[in-house]
């Protein structure tokens, strides 16, 4: 990971602040506030700001539910109850803001989560960094034969070298042309004093999708968990999962009780349809049950068996 001189100075300035506040603060999250946590080869995430903690969720729930919550004796019990029964609005009372540096192709995947406030680095106004994402050998894989949006076997040897060479040379070549069209080098120097550079908003169209961009991403706790539930999953693309895994650690620091409930009910749990529930009930009762009489499709059946760790029943 490479930080610019200006970014390092900004981080030092932010971390040297000493402010007093009457707002809720979380010591473990404060420890890493503004710190750049490295992701991939040149990326990072930084927690820039946050609002609320576990007690904010409990407070909001007790306002909305009134006397009914008095049956829950502890904050932990209440948060688990809210998570277990999919009560969402109390989790919306907490917010967090990240500064994220990521490859453009991951940003395009990420932006599909349309439940955050996003402000991206403007390539119409500034020149993009001369940095590109190149996967490591262990993450260079062929197209999966049974999953149109997944990876298959690892590519190695000469084929891997050729792919990495193509990715690097294409990125470097298009960036060199980007500089030529701008008539300006990455370091700010002018290439030809007699020429006018192409508008930045046009020159950027030539760049490869592994070029790095940056943005501020602010969201509430509910939608952060919705994002992490999908992107920290083992089936998610490796690159975006790398960011999600690091964000999981910030979630644990920020709201540890909610994190525990989230891992238990969302990450470690599973959803079961009424037909799937009937299958499980028969299995518990040692009754015979098959795909044909379950009412499930083959995919649904296999997903249920995998979730229940009954791999000997996969079809």
Residues acting as catalytic residues:
231
- The DSSP secondary structure of 121-147, one letter per residue, reads --TTTSPPPS-B----GGG-EEEPSS-
Which 3 state secondary structure label does DSSP give 67? helix
Name the E strands within 227-300. Answer: none
Query: 301: left (phi > 0), else alpha (psi -120 to 50), else beta?
Result: alpha
The answer to whether 189 touches 97, Cβ cutoff 8 Å, is no
Partnered with residue 44 across adjacent β-strands are 38, 101
Distance between CA atoms of 102 and 243, rounded to whole angstroms? Answer: 9
Using alpha carbons only, give the angle 240, 125, 120 rounded to the nearest 5 degrees.
25
Q: What whole-number distance in Å separates Cα of residue 55 and Cα of residue 57?
A: 5
**CA distances for 26 relative to 124, 252, 254, angstroms:** 38, 11, 6
| Six token digits for residue 287 | 């009754």
Cα separation, 39 vs 243, whole angstroms? 6
Give the torsion sign (CA, 209, 3, 111, 148): positive
d(CA 170, CA 153): 24
């Amino acid at each position: 990971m490479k930080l610019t001189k200006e970014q390092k100075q900004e981080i030092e300035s932010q971390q040297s602040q000493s402010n007093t506040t009457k707002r809720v603060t979380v010591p473990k999250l404060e420890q890493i506030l503004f710190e750049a946590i490295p992701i991939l080869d040149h990326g990072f995430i930084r927690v820039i700001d946050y609002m609320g903690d576990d007690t904010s969720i409990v407070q909001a729930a007790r306002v909305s539910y009134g006397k009914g919550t008095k049956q829950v004796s502890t904050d932990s019990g209440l948060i688990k109850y809210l998570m277990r029964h999919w009560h969402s609005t109390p989790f919306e009372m907490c917010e967090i803001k990240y500064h994220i540096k990521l490859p453009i192709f991951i940003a395009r995947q990420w932006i599909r989560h349309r439940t955050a406030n996003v402000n991206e680095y403007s390539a119409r106004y500034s020149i993009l960094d001369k940095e590109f994402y190149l996967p490591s050998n262990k993450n260079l894989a062929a197209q999966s034969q049974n999953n149109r949006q997944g990876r298959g076997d690892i590519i190695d040897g000469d084929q891997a070298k050729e792919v990495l060479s193509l990715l690097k040379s294409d990125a470097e070549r298009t960036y060199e042309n980007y500089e030529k069209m701008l008539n300006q080098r990455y370091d700010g120097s002018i290439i030809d004093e007699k020429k006018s550079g192409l508008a930045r908003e046009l020159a950027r169209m030539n760049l490869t999708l592994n070029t790095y961009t940056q943005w501020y991403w602010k969201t509430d706790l509910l939608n952060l968990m919705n994002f992490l539930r999908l992107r920290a999953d083992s089936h998610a693309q490796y690159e975006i999962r790398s960011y999600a895994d690091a964000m999981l650690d910030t979630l644990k620091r920020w709201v540890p009780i909610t994190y525990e409930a989230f891992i238990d009910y969302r990450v470690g749990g599973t959803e079961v349809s009424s037909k799937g529930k009937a299958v499980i009930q028969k299995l518990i009762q040692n009754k015979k049950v098959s795909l044909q009489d379950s009412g499930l499709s083959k995919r649904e059946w296999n997903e249920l068996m995998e979730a229940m760790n009954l791999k000997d029943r996969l079809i």
